[in-house]
């Protein structure tokens, strides 16, 4: 019976991880006969899973939406992501859904292995508040961060454990670092580690996707006093563009509240000009980055640009586009 249950759960995991499986593929994966496969599919249907059977040469099985929500199988990373999200929502307070949020969180945490629970608690308590926005400052793709690395750094912050790692800077140079990690901070869709650099005897900010070869020293340190707000301020100051950055001011023919709702995190520095206009200061490491930022504005919104470098760039591009459109 235990083998049957284990095999059925494995079948469910396969169906949830892939849109369509042929019967031959499932038979090979599970090491069973087609008759046993059909019986396991029926068991899952009895539990409420909608499983569609497809006939023919390319026939097989696929999981489809049912009339209710059946049990789900989650990987470790998926469980951590959901639990962290529910904890954040419970803290923020979703009006009218407080009870269901806490109930769902309790059900997940009840069955979490201790190692995953420690990772979740560390991420929740040592990641500064505030969700990352929907893109990088210049609109370019944002590098992915290994969730295991993020969890390891969060645990080191929580446990006040010194770390050593290899860090690659913006110019591609690599250095060995020995740090006392304090906070993980999300800024512009990127995760940053705020840590006390022991060799430089000062605070340093590290982009997590550039951290590699982390070594856990098991050596504890006395944390320096710093709260989430101060940690975020330090990281934001460290990640602002230097003197080579390009800035402009865009005056948009929309009320501030309407444009702020459209831009979200990107509109945090909007300024009201009058009842029907607001100003949006923008900054990037290139004039091309500024131009890409304009694409975030509503398509039907009229605006004017204050910033000679950006205006000159757009004038050249307008002529090129007109010629290309022929």
164 DSSP β-pair partners: 178, 215
Kindly state the helix (H) or strand (E) to which residue 207 belongs, with its residue range: strand 202-207
Model confidence over 128-152: pLDDT tens digits?
Answer: 554 443 344 444 455 666 767 877 8
DSSP codes joined into one string, 17-44:
H-S-EEHHHHHHHHT--HHHHHHHHHHH
Structure tokens at 306: 């204050």
Classify the C-alpha dihedral 61-64-68-73 as positive or negative: positive
Q: Which domains does the chain have, with CATH numbers?
A: 2-64 (1.10.10.10), 147-239 (2.30.30), 246-325 (3.30.70)
Structure tokens at 297: 């504005």
Model confidence over 112-123: pLDDT tens digits?
Answer: 677 776 776 666
Q: What value does the mean pLDDT take over residues 188-216?
A: 88
Of 157, 92, 145, 91, which is closest to residue 119 (Cα–Cα)? 157
DSSP 8-state symbol, 143: P
Distance CA 154, CA 120 (A): 9
93 has pLDDT over 60: no
Model confidence over 211-222: pLDDT tens digits?
Answer: 999 998 888 898
Sheet containing strand 271-274, edge to edge, reads 271-274, 277-284, 246-252, 303-306
User: Which range among 36-40, 231-235, 281-285, 298-302 shows the weakest confidence by mean pLDDT?
Assistant: 281-285
More confident residue, 300 or 59: 300
More confident residue, 5 or 35: 35
Query: Which pLDDT value is given to residue 67?
Result: 47
Distance CA 135, CA 142 (A): 7
Distance CA 72, CA 12 (A): 9
């Amino acid at each position: 019976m235990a083998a049957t249950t284990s095999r059925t759960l494995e079948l469910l995991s396969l169906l949830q991880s892939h849109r369509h499986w042929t019967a031959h593929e499932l038979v090979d994966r599970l090491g069973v006969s087609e008759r046993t496969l059909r019986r396991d599919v029926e068991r899952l249907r009895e539990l409420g899973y909608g499983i569609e059977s497809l006939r023919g040469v390319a026939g097989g099985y696929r999981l489809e939406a049912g009339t209710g929500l059946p049990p789900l199988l989650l990987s470790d990373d998926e469980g951590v992501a959901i639990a962290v999200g529910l904890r954040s929502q419970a803290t923020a307070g979703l009006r009218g859904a407080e009870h269901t949020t806490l109930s769902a969180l309790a059900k997940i945490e009840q069955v979490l292995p201790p190692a995953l629970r420690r990772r979740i608690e560390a991420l929740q308590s040592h990641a500064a508040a505030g969700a990352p926005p929907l893109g990088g400052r210049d609109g370019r793709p944002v590098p992915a961060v290994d969730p295991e690395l993020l969890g390891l750094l969060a645990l080191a912050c929580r446990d006040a454990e010194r770390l050593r790692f290899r860090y690659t800077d913006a110019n591609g140079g690599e250095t060995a670092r020995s740090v006392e990690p304090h906070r993980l901070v999300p800024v512009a869709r990127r995760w940053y580690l705020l840590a006390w650099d022991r060799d430089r005897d000062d605070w340093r900010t590290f982009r997590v996707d550039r951290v590699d070869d982390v070594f856990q020293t098991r050596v504890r340190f006395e944390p320096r006093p710093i709260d989430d707000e101060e940690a975020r301020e330090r990281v934001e100051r460290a990640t602002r563009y230097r003197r080579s950055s390009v800035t402009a001011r865009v005056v948009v023919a929309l009320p501030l509240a309407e444009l702020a709702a459209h831009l979200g995190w990107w509109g945090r520095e909007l300024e009201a000009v009058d009842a029907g206009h607001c100003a949006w200061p923008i900054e990037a490491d290139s004039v091309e980055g500024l131009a890409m930022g304009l694409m975030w504005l509503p398509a039907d919104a009229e605006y004017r640009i204050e910033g000679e470098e950006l205006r000159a760039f757009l004038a050249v591009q307008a002529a090129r586009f007109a010629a290309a459109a022929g």
